[in-house]
Amino acid sequence: MATSSNAQLISTIQQVEITSQVIMKITRHCHHELEKQLDPHVNGVLLGLINENKHVLEVTHCFPLMNSDTDEGMEINREYMLEMERSLRQVNIDYQQVGFYQSTYLNTHCDRNFLDSVFDYLEEMNEAIALIYDPLKTKLGNLSIRAFKLSAPAFKLYKEDKEFTAEMLRENSLTYENLFVEIPVVIKNSSLTNVLLCELDSVQDNTSFFTLPTSSYLEKSMQLLLGGLDEINQDLQKINNHQRNVYKQQTAIMKYIQDQKEKNDARVKDGLKPLPEEDVSKIFKDFAPVGRLESLLSSNRIASHCDMIEDHVRSGIGKLYLADSFMS
């Protein structure tokens, strides 16, 4: 599959439509694993179709997978996926894979494994997306489901080299902000479901809107933010050490060239032939450039934590001022 076709498709998909049944299956799978404390990170396969006329990706079905990195577990998942697609095809249900879903803990999904999964799906099928569900944020009353795709520059660079260098990032204008492309998500319900939601909205207890925000959520977000800053600091130390070693090597090369020149001048004065020039690159090996991929991923997570903290504080600061006025 050509890279140009991927880049073209990334810019054509403008919206992701998900049925409420798919949302319920994903939330049930994630919360079921959390209640049993089996694995906080679960994943599954998304099925549906792409509407090229409306530039909409429709997700109509999904099924869970076993979370395993072993060869045996991956083989079991592969056989299970084939069996599910065969069964869905027999009952005339959409069986085309359009991506995968994955749970996250306070937007900590942006790591190397997630990038590899997005790249593998996108390389196999142009319309692939990654659907991220945050059960902890959903428990606070805000449904957190986001759709991502790998940007065209990131896909191109990752296909050429798994480790991004500073020169590659500069040439392709790639930063942590455009590493992934977020696509708007719309939940599509039937008419009867919309009627039921309207009835439930009329009878629900509206006093929950005055619930004060908890500090545990903010505390966990701050801890993750500080952890991301530590990772950035470690990456900066690696870069500084690399630049220091390169400077030392350049100094040694200049000293070697100067010594060789002085030796040849002395030999010429003594009537001897000068020594043949040697290839400096064979004597001094170049240092491998420091990869910037981990720094990009850490910066992306830090930006996500900052956005979460801002949203949490914005929604709760008004309630705190209101509660303070009542207490005074």
Per residue in 314-326, pLDDT (tens digit) is 777 777 777 777 7
Report the percent of the chain where pLDDT is more than 90: 17
For 28, the 3-state DSSP assignment is: helix
Q: Are 33 and 64 in contact (CB under 8 A)?
A: no
pLDDT band at residue 106 using 50, 70 and 90 as cut-offs: confident
Lowest pLDDT segment from 18-32, 89-103, 205-219? 205-219
Residue 210 clears pLDDT 50, i.e. is over it: yes
Q: Write the DSSP assignment of 236-283 as a string of letters.
A: HHHHHHHHHHHHHHHHHHHHHHHHHHHHHHHHHHTTPPPPPPP-HHHH
| Nearest alpha carbon to residue 179 among 161, 196, 158 | 158
Q: Are 121 and 100 in contact (CB under 8 A)?
A: yes
Q: What gap in Å lies between CA 77 and CA 83, rounded to an integer?
A: 10
Unique residue bearing structure tokens 């449904």: 143
Residue 207 clears pLDDT 60, i.e. is over it: no
What pairs with residue 147 in β-bridges? 131, 183
Q: What gap in Å lies between CA 193 and CA 189, rounded to an integer?
A: 6
pLDDT band at residue 10 using 50, 70 and 90 as cut-offs: very low
Residue 197 clears pLDDT 90, i.e. is over it: no
274-319 confidence digits (pLDDT tens): 777 777 777 788 888 888 888 889 999 999 889 888 887 777 777 7
